[in-house]
Each structure stands twice: as C-alpha cells, then as structure tokens.
C-alpha cells in the first residue's frame, strides 16, 4: 500500500470514528449506548469500569424459598422472587460501591440490607405500579476491599414480595489514582506563596452525593441548589426511570429527584425579574424508534423550562414545568448562554442548531432572542442576527456574557470580545483576547464581571481566565488531550480609557481549561476545577483518557484578589488539594453560608466508572472566614426597590471596623460559564449603637438586573450568611403580546425533530 493510500485510509477511519462519536454524543436514553435496539430507559445499567452480576450468577447464593422467573424484561432474561419472610441472598465482592436491582410493585415489601454483618438499610420496594429493572439500593461509600452483602426479606413486613434481578459493583478506587502529571503544568513562580502573609486555612470537605450528575448548578433558595444534567443512567430515579434533574439540600445533603420532560443536555439558565428561573435549550431527541412517553424525554433544543420560586425546606411541591406548544424559543439552541437583562427579561445568546462538538457555519445559530420575546427594530420576537457570533467561529459556543451598568451586554466568544447594545442592535467591537487565547467552548476559559461599586460610579471590569490557543480550525484527530491549556488571565476596564488601554494580562499559577471562577462576598475570586490540557467535550480528540478530551486535572484552587497589585494577586497559600478531578461538566458555586460547593465531572456519553468517571461526590471549600466570628443579619427586607433606602438589623463582631454590604447573584453555572454571576456594593451607614445598617438599593436594573439576590454584610473581610431577597418590583417581565403571538404562529415547536421526519437533517 502506498503512503498515499495509507494516509487516505487513516483519514477515512478517522472520519468514521468521528462521525460515530458525534452521533453518540447526542444519545438520550432511547437505546443502550452502542446498540440500535430500542429499549426503555431504565435504571439498570452497568457503567464501563463496573461489574454486573445477574440474578442467576453462581456467585449469588440464595436461601431455599426463591423461585426463578423468566422474561425478556429482566436483566439476563431472569429474576429471582420470593414471598417468604426471612429468605435471603448473599454476594461477596471486591469494590467500593454496590447497587441492587429488582422489580417494584404494590406487592413488594421491605428488605434489609446487611453489609459485612451490619444492618445498613431497610429498603421499601413498594411502588404504586409495576416497574422493572429498578435500582432499589445503592451505596458508593464503602471502603475499597472485599465485602459481603446480604439481602433479607424482612419478616415484619405485611407485604411479602422480594425480587432480585441484578447486582452492580463499582470501584471508585480506579478513579482516584494520583495525578502526578499535574505538577508538570505548575508554574515555578516564586510570587505565589510570598504575598499571602500568615497562612490562613482553607478546608476542603467531601460530604454528600448529587444522585444526578451536576452538569448545571444554581442556588434556588436558602436551603436548596438545583442540579440539572443530561439524560443518562444516574442513580437517582423518578417515575421508574433515571432522573436528570434534582434539588440538593445544602444543609442535610438529601437529594430530591425532579421530573423534567426534555433533554437538558448543555442547557443554560437564568432567573427572571419575578424570581422564576428558566432553563433553556438542550439536546434533541435523536432517535424516534420508541414513543417519548416511555422516557418522558422530548426534544430540548427550543425548550424553555420553568422552575418557579420554591422555598419549601423539604423540596416538596417544587417542580419543572414545560409546554413547548405555548412556551419555547423561536430557534433551536444547544450551548446557549442566557443572561437576565436590565428589564428582568432573558436574552438567549448563540448556540448551535443541533448537537455536536465544536461549532461550524452549518450548525451555528448566530443570533440572539429574548424571553419573553421582544420587538427590536421590527424583529417582532424573531431571532436577531449578530455578526459577532458568525465572525467568531469555530470555538464560540457558550459565549461569555455580562450585563454592564449601562444596560449593554459584554460578550466574549473564541478570541474576540465586544459590547452589544441590544436596544438598538449595534455592536462595539473590543480588542481581541491577547496571545490568541480562545476562551469559549470547547476551549473554555471562565470569566467574571468584577464587583461593581458606587465609589467609582460602577465602572465595570471584566476578568477572563484560562482557555487554550489550540487552532480551532483543526479537526479533532489533529488535537490531543495533552495540548497545554493557557495560564493567561485577561482583564479590562470597560470605560473609554480602559478600552483604549486594552487587555492587561497576568498568569495563573496553573494552566487551566474549563476552570470555574467563583466570587466571594469579600470581593475576591476563587479559581478552581478544570484541566491542564486538551479541550472540553469527550470522544473527539487524540489520546483521550477514557473518553475525556482533556487531561491533567488541576486539583488546587487559587485565590485571586482583584484589588492587589498586578503580579501579586494570586495565592494558593493554605489551599487544600483535592483528590477528585473536576474535568468536563464540573461546576462550583458560592452557597449562602459562604462556602463553595464543588460538584460534577463527567466527560462521558453515559455514566462511567472508568477514568475520568462520572463524579457524584460533592466537596465543600470553606474559606478561612468560616471559622471566624461572623456578622449576622437579624432582620432584613424580602424585597428592595431600586434606589430605596432600608434599615437592616445586624449583630456585628465586637471590634469590627470595616463594614460593607454587598448584593450577589450566585449565577447559573455550567461549562465554566457563570452566567449572571454578579456582586454590587451598596452604600450603607451604621447606627451609633451598631445594630442597624441603613442600606441603599442599586440605582437601577442596569447595575443589578431586577430579580433574586443575596445580601451579605461583610465585617473586616468576614461575611455574614447570605439573606435572600428580590431586587426590584418582583413583577413578571413585560410581555409583548404581539411579538409572542408572532413567534408562536411563525415557528414550530421542536423544529429539529420535525426536520428529521421531513427527511432532512
């Protein structure tokens, strides 16, 4: 074979591999991954790296009363069932996690789970109708060694049925190998440790599991965070199938599954002026071989899903609502960024018209649209083209966007930036990111609008960190998971003088792709998570680790102090190093008590136990202030109108000198984009007896877009616990009925699905 045919063959093979993985990328639960046979989306699943034992495995031992049942609906076509009290089954296994599968129905009673001779849980296998292949018990927290599990049909139960269909053993130990490679990407810079002064201790604590992989994360109440994932085999189930959304209790660590109809794979989100949250866009239904009703999973590309305000401390009655016939976007968007504007409505920016990896001209959706729909210069609700989103192909998905204090929107995509005046649909192009660093998907960096202060008339300053200089016109097979990420942070003051001066750069101690930047109430920024090399996504590049396009996890957070002199803003002093890689699809957010919640990581098509596996464990990073005497907000308003003055009652630490009040939006976090993340200082004066603070609300919705916020009192750098309130009038954003009607009349729901049945792609 000539060299030419060989390289042609290689090319064809590479293209084949790519198209296979591209098709797989959009899997949404209709069939087992890698299979064409439609099957219901059930909880039973053996993740790569785990081991499944069928009920008829010789390693599972039964007492006398069990009967073997046969049906194609059972794992391995067989199931064991007993109606006799005291019957048991045992399995000895090596591993650190176990899952037990069987049926549930109205005849099932309670069974006891014993591990290594101790009763660990009583499981009620009752459910109101029959579901098969259900995960009835799971425990991922065992020590990695030999264990024996014994399942006993509880004699005290009035309902007597017990079934065992299969057992899955998982091995977390494979996933916590030491990541020595990371040090290769560490800067030898001596600055790092010098500046911080006496080392203050940060504590990293791993507690809780999310049950649903945390691809998207947003704090929705004083007690809960919303977690949104894609359709995959999460351990948490709802209505007989795995869940892809949940509420996480920030205090008890309990998780409550939420029912969501459409596939929210790579959606974005924001709160609106009235406190309702919208979760926007996502993934198409790829195959239509079985009825969506089997899965509750419909085309999510144009979806606008509502999560209405829900303060329930038990998460009961909180749910996600969607109805594509009445509420939807005009055009399909996957990887769209959503920001809340100065009028409390939402702007949906860019995205791709269907799933895939890097963007291209065929699938690009280079437009913005609004919810509720707006009529901008005759657009009558329809999407408005933005040249910026065409000019920034290919690495321009999940654009970085922040509302500026004059109401315009800053945007960064690929290696370019601009300011968008949405009212008159005009763009002001800004200098490119220096040194060709690409900062949006799949070369994701992270960004923040730095804290706004009345002391300097709310001058906006943008910080963008990490990303990569990989050539975004290269195909995946010419990119490697080992291609180094960027250390660069770029910062620019968005005033006339600041723009004239341009981007100022500085280096993080570590190169990072897919980092998260989290604002603290102190005005400092914690940069954490991410990888030292590769790109976002999975299944696309050379040298994948498992399926991950990225490698060299960066395990130590770094603190950035914006007000410090350039060159001494970064410090890792006192920072703990995690053992858990947080790669593609990982998230972090500030939570109201002042800690940082860290979750997710899943560079996989479906749940996997192989490196880099699907990560359900949550970590909590406690800044040193958590251990200090905290100021307290004793009483404060639930609503603050713009420019209004209000008195809040506080209890300050005795010798507190420097007392500040800040408003924060904790943002909607996904894919390193912290959309709507924001911090605004409020003018405040302290009463003579130091128990009352008179605070003045932000002047208007451009400084703080109307909607939910968290109020923190910060005394000598130590914040109180956040107090939840609504900024503005709390009313629904204005609806332009004519524009809304025009969108509903002139665009179909689920257009991507419709185009497929019309035979086109």
| CA angle at 584 for the pair 580 and 585, rounded to the nearest 5° | 90
Residue 598: CB minimum distance to ligand NAG, A: 13
Q: Which of 262, 276, 540, 571 binds ligand NAG (CB under 6 A)?
A: 276
Q: Which of 308, 423, 628, 646 binds ligand NAG (CB under 6 A)?
A: 308
Q: Using the rule CB under 6 A, give the single segment among 187-195, 201-209, 455-463, 597-605 that binds ligand NAG.
A: 201-209
- Given a contact cutoff of 8 angstroms between Cβ atoms, the answer to whether 633 and 650 are in contact is yes
The dihedrals phi and psi of 699, each to the nearest 5 degrees, come to -65, -30
Q: In terms of CB distance, is 32 or 469 closer to ligand NAG?
A: 469
DSSP state of 747: S
How far apart (Å, rounded) are the C-alpha atoms in residues 446 and 527? 9
The verdict on 291 binding ligand NAG (CB under 6 A) reads yes
Q: In terms of CB distance, is 96 or 274 closer to ligand NAG?
A: 274
Residues 237 to 256 in contact with ligand NAG, rule: CB under 6 A: none
Q: Which of 54, 87, 297, 472 binds ligand NAG (CB under 6 A)?
A: 472
Cα–Cα nearest to 124, from 96, 170, 181, 162 = 162
The verdict on 288 binding ligand NAG (CB under 6 A) reads yes
Residue 720: CB minimum distance to ligand NAG, A: 19
Residue 407: CB minimum distance to ligand NAG, A: 20
Q: In terms of CB distance, is 313 or 360 closer to ligand NAG?
A: 360
The verdict on 696 binding ligand NAG (CB under 6 A) reads no
Q: Using the rule CB under 6 A, give the single segment among 95-103, 200-208, 213-221, 718-726 that binds ligand NAG.
A: 200-208
Residue 19: CB minimum distance to ligand NAG, A: 7
How far apart (Å, rounded) are the C-alpha atoms in residues 359 and 685? 50
DSSP state of 565: P
Residue 420: CB minimum distance to ligand NAG, A: 19
Q: In a 3-state reduction of DSSP, which class is residue 757?
A: helix
Q: What is the 3-state secondary structure (H, E, C) of 384-400?
A: EECHHHHHCCCCCECCE
Q: Which of 2, 118, 178, 207 binds ligand NAG (CB under 6 A)?
A: 207
Residue 2: CB minimum distance to ligand NAG, A: 28
The verdict on 205 binding ligand NAG (CB under 6 A) reads yes
Token output for 294: 């089997």
Residue 713: CB minimum distance to ligand NAG, A: 23
How far apart (Å, rounded) are the C-alpha atoms in residues 730 and 221? 16
Q: In terms of CB distance, is 212 or 430 closer to ligand NAG?
A: 430
Residue 23: CB minimum distance to ligand NAG, A: 9
Q: In a 3-state reduction of DSSP, which class is residue 756?
A: helix
Counting DSSP H helices and E strands in the chain, the numbers are: 6, 56
Residue 108: CB minimum distance to ligand NAG, A: 30
Q: Exposed e or buried b for every residue in 5-23, given b needs 16+ CB within 10 A?
A: eeeeeeeeeeeeebeebee
Q: Which of 127, 203, 499, 684 binds ligand NAG (CB under 6 A)?
A: 203
The verdict on 199 binding ligand NAG (CB under 6 A) reads no
Residue 353: CB minimum distance to ligand NAG, A: 9
What x-and-dash track marks residues 536-555 binding ligand NAG by CB under 6 A? --------------------
Positive or negative CA dihedral for 212, 214, 217, 219?
positive
The verdict on 699 binding ligand NAG (CB under 6 A) reads no
Residue 196: CB minimum distance to ligand NAG, A: 21
Residues 431 to 450 in contact with ligand NAG, rule: CB under 6 A: 432, 436
- Count of chain residues binding ligand NAG (CB under 6 A): 26
How far apart (Å, rounded) are the C-alpha atoms in residues 512 and 669? 17
Residue 504: CB minimum distance to ligand NAG, A: 16
Contacts with 327 (C-beta within 8 Å, 6 or more apart), sequence order: 304, 306
Q: Which of 227, 272, 618, 648 binds ligand NAG (CB under 6 A)?
A: 272
- Given a contact cutoff of 8 angstroms between Cβ atoms, the answer to whether 371 and 305 are in contact is no
- Given a contact cutoff of 8 angstroms between Cβ atoms, the answer to whether 249 and 315 are in contact is yes
Q: In terms of CB distance, is 126 or 321 closer to ligand NAG?
A: 321
Alpha helices in 354-456 (DSSP H): 387-391
Q: Which of 55, 209, 274, 552 binds ligand NAG (CB under 6 A)?
A: 274
For 297-352, give the DSSP string.
-B--TTBEEEE-----TT-TT--EE--TTTSB-SS--BS-EEEE-TTS-EEEE--B
The verdict on 2 binding ligand NAG (CB under 6 A) reads no
Q: In terms of CB distance, is 138 or 271 closer to ligand NAG?
A: 271
Residue 59: CB minimum distance to ligand NAG, A: 36
How far apart (Å, rounded) are the C-alpha atoms in residues 516 and 597? 11
Q: In terms of CB distance, is 19 or 143 closer to ligand NAG?
A: 19
Residue 214: CB minimum distance to ligand NAG, A: 17
How far apart (Å, rounded) are the C-alpha atoms in residues 100 and 93? 13
Residues 701 to 760 in contact with ligand NAG, rule: CB under 6 A: 732-733, 735, 757
Cα 49 to Cα 26, 57, 169, distances in angstroms? 22, 19, 9
Residue 432: CB minimum distance to ligand NAG, A: 4
Q: In terms of CB distance, is 205 or 577 closer to ligand NAG?
A: 205
Contacts with 311 (C-beta within 8 Å, 6 or more apart), sequence order: 221, 222, 223
- Given a contact cutoff of 8 angstroms between Cβ atoms, the answer to whether 270 and 339 are in contact is yes
Residues 402 to 431 in contact with ligand NAG, rule: CB under 6 A: 414-415
Q: In terms of CB distance, is 18 or 85 closer to ligand NAG?
A: 18
The verdict on 194 binding ligand NAG (CB under 6 A) reads no
Residue 55: CB minimum distance to ligand NAG, A: 32
Q: In terms of CB distance, is 509 or 733 closer to ligand NAG?
A: 733
Q: Which residue is nearest to ligand NAG (CB)?
A: 356
Q: In terms of CB distance, is 162 or 599 closer to ligand NAG?
A: 599
Residue corresponding to tokens 């920072």: 575
Reported residue count of the chain is: 761
The verdict on 22 binding ligand NAG (CB under 6 A) reads yes
Contacts with 759 (C-beta within 8 Å, 6 or more apart), sequence order: none
Residues 341 to 380 in contact with ligand NAG, rule: CB under 6 A: 356-357, 360, 362-363, 372
Q: Which long-range contacts (CB under 8 A, 24 or more apart) does 319-324 make?
A: 319/258, 319/259, 320/245, 320/258, 320/259, 320/260, 320/261, 320/279, 322/260, 322/261, 322/262, 324/262, 324/298, 324/299, 324/749, 324/750
Q: In terms of CB distance, is 357 or 712 closer to ligand NAG?
A: 357
Residue 259: CB minimum distance to ligand NAG, A: 18
Cα 315 to Cα 246, 254, 274, 709, distances in angstroms? 10, 10, 20, 20
Q: Where along the sequence are the contacts to ligand NAG (CB under 6 A)?
A: 22, 203, 205, 207, 272, 274, 276, 288, 291-292, 308, 356-357, 360, 362-363, 372, 414-415, 432, 436, 472, 732-733, 735, 757
């Amino acid at each position: 074979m000539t060299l030419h045919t060989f390289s042609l063959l290689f090319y064809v093979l590479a293209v084949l591999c790519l198209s296979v993985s591209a098709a797989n990328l959009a899997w949404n639960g209709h069939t087992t991954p890698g299979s064409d046979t439609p099957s219901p989306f059930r909880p039973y699943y053996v993740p790569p790296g785990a081991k499944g034992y069928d009920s008829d495995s010789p390693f599972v031992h039964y007492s006398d009363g069990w009967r073997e049942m046969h049906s194609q609906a059972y794992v391995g076509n067989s199931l064991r069932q007993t109606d006799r009290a005291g019957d048991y089954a045992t399995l000895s296994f090596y591993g650190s996690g176990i899952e037990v599968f069987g049926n549930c129905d109205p005849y099932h009673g309670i069974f006891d789970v014993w591990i290594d001779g101790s009763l660990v849980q009583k499981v009620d296998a009752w459910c109101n109708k029959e579901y098969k292949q259900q995960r009835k018990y799971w425990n991922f927290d065992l020590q990695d060694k030999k264990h024996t599990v014994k399942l006993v049909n509880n004699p005290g139960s009035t309902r007597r049925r017990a079934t065992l269909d299969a057992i899955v053993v998982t091995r977390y130990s494979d996933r916590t190998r030491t990541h020595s490679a990371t040090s290769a990407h560490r800067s030898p810079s001596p600055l790092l440790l010098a500046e911080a002064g006496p080392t203050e201790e940060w504590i990293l604590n791993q507690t809780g599991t999310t049950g649903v992989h945390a691809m998207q994360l947003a704090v929705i109440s004083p007690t809960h965070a919303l977690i949104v994932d894609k359709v995959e085999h999460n351990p948490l189930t709802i209505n007989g199938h795995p869940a892809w959304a949940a509420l996480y209790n920030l205090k008890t660590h309990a998780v409550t599954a939420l029912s969501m109809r459409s596939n929210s794979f790579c959606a974005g989100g924001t709160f609106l002026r009235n406190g309702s949250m919208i979760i926007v866009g996502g993934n198409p239904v790829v195959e239509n071989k079985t009825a969506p009703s089997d899965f509750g999973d419909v085309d999510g590309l144009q979806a606008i899903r509502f999560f209405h305000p829900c303060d329930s401390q038990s998460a009961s009655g909180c749910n996600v609502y969607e109805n594509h016939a009445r509420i939807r976007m005009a055009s399909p968007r996957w990887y769209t960024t959503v920001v809340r504007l100065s009028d409390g409505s939402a702007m949906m920016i860019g995205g791709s018209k269907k799933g895939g990896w890097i963007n291209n001209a065929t699938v690009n959706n280079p437009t913005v649209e609004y919810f509720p729909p707006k009529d901008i210069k005759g657009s009558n609700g329809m999407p408005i083209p933005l040249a910026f989103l065409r000019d920034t192909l290919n690495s321009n998905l999940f654009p970085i966007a922040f509302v500026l204090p004059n109401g315009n929107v800053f945007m960064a995509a690929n290696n370019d930036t601009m300011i968008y005046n949405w009212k008159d649909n005009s763009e002001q192009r800004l200098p490119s990111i220096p040194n060709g660093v690409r900062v949006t998907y799949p070369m994701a960096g992270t960004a923040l609008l730095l804290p706004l202060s009345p002391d300097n008339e709310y001058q906006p300053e943008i910080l963008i960190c990490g990303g990569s200089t990989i050539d975004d016109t290269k195909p995946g097979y010419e990119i490697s998971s080992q291609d180094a990420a960027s250390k660069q942070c770029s910062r620019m003051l968005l005033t006339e003088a600041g723009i004239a001066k341009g981007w100022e750069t500085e280096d993080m101690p570590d190169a990072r792709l897919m980092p998260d930047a989290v604002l603290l109430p102190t005005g400092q920024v914690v940069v954490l998570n991410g990888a030292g090399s590769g790109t976002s996504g999975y299944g696309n590049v050379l040298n994948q680790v498992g399926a991950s396009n990225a490698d060299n996890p960066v395990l130590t957070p770094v603190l950035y102090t914006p007000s410090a002199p350039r060159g001494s803003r970064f410090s890792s002093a006192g920072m703990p190093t995690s053992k858990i890689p947080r790669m593609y699809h990982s998230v972090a957010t500030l939570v109201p008590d002042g800690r940082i919640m860290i979750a997710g990581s899943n560079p996989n098509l479906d749940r996997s136990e192989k490196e880099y596996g699907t990560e359900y464990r949550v970590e909590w990073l406690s800044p040193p202030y958590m251990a200090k005497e905290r100021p307290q907000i004793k009483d404060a308003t639930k609503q603050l109108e713009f420019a209004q003055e209000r008195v809040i009652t506080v209890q300050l630490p005795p010798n507190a000198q420097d007392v500040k009040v800040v408003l924060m939006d904790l943002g909607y976090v996904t894919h390193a984009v912290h959309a709507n993340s924001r911090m605004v200082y409020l003018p405040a004066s302290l009463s003579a007896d130091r128990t009352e603070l008179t605070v003045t609300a932000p002047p208007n919705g451009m400084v703080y877009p109307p909607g939910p916020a968290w109020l923190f009192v910060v005394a000598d750098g130590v914040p109180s616990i956040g107090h939840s309130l609504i900024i503005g009038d709390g009313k629904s954003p204005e609806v332009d009925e004519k524009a809304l009607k025009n969108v509903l009349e002139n665009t179909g729901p689920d257009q991507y699905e419709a185009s497929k049945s019309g035979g086109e792609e």
